[in-house]
Amino acid sequence: MTMRVGNGFDIHRFSSDPDRPLVLGGIVVTGSPGLMGHSDADVVAHAVADALLGAVGLGDIGMLFPDTDERWRGADSIGLLEEVVRRLRVDGWRVVNVDCSVVAERPAIAPYRDQMRERLSAVVEAPVSVKGRRAEGIGGLGRAEGIACMASALVERDQ
């Protein structure tokens, strides 16, 4: 049995557009500004996609869905993650599990954690854990200028 581990990271600033929704892990989070980005800027879905792609050597999310391509403007990042999972399956891999740490001063992640876990787990067809972390006032994340996510993924070769 061949197993591989991948790591993913994404970070986005908060948007000044009051109509831009905040999407994290495929869930719309209310009461907080959205994130700036070419797609819906879902840092959790992006970090998971990069962790999976890195584990199997299929590039990264920027290579597959570049922000220079207008097809991806406003894209649903869960749809992009679904495409990543499809590519893994075609290449003979399956996801074993994914672990995510979301770094944000605001909003609180805990009220949305279970919904994010369920949504992401359904997409990757494996358990996904989501944890919220604060930057404790350090740097741009600590000043609540944006949100970051780190993800680790374990995949195995299909039998």
Angle between helices 77-90 and 110-124 (to 10 degrees): 40
Closest CA relative to residue 90, chosen from 58, 119, 43: 58
Residue 159 has pLDDT above 80, yes or no: no
pLDDT at 62: 92
Closest CA relative to residue 97, chosen from 159, 48, 56, 50: 48
CATH label, 3-157, candidates 3.30.1330.50, 3.40.50.150, 3.10.129.10, 3.90.550.10: 3.30.1330.50
Q: For Cα atoms 75, 155, 131, give the angle at the middle one, nearest 5 degrees.
A: 65
pLDDT at 130: 98
* Helix residue ranges, H only, the chain: 43-56, 61-64, 77-90, 110-124, 139-142
Q: For Cα atoms 81, 94, 98, give the angle at the middle one, nearest 5 degrees.
A: 60
Residue 1 has pLDDT above 80, yes or no: no
Given a contact cutoff of 8 angstroms between Cβ atoms, the answer to whether 100 and 128 are in contact is yes
Q: Which two tokens stand for residue 143?
A: 């000043």
Tell me the pLDDT tens digit for each residue of 24-74: 999 999 999 999 999 999 999 999 999 999 999 999 999 999 989 888 888
pLDDT at 58: 94
Which residue ranges make up each domain of the chain? 3-157
What is the distance between the alpha carbons of residues 95 and 47, in angstroms, rounded to a whole number? Answer: 15
**CA distances from residue 11 to 6, 82, 140, 158 in whole angstroms, order as listed:** 17, 20, 11, 32
What is the distance between the alpha carbons of residues 116 and 122, in angstroms, rounded to a whole number? Answer: 10
Q: State mean pLDDT over 9-36.
A: 96
Q: Which two tokens stand for residue 108?
A: 């609180």
pLDDT at 40: 96
Tell me the pLDDT tens digit for each residue of 101-111: 999 999 999 99
Tell me the pLDDT tens digit for each residue of 66-102: 989 888 888 999 999 999 999 999 999 999 999 999 9
**Prediction pTM value:** 0.96
Residue 158 has pLDDT above 90, yes or no: no
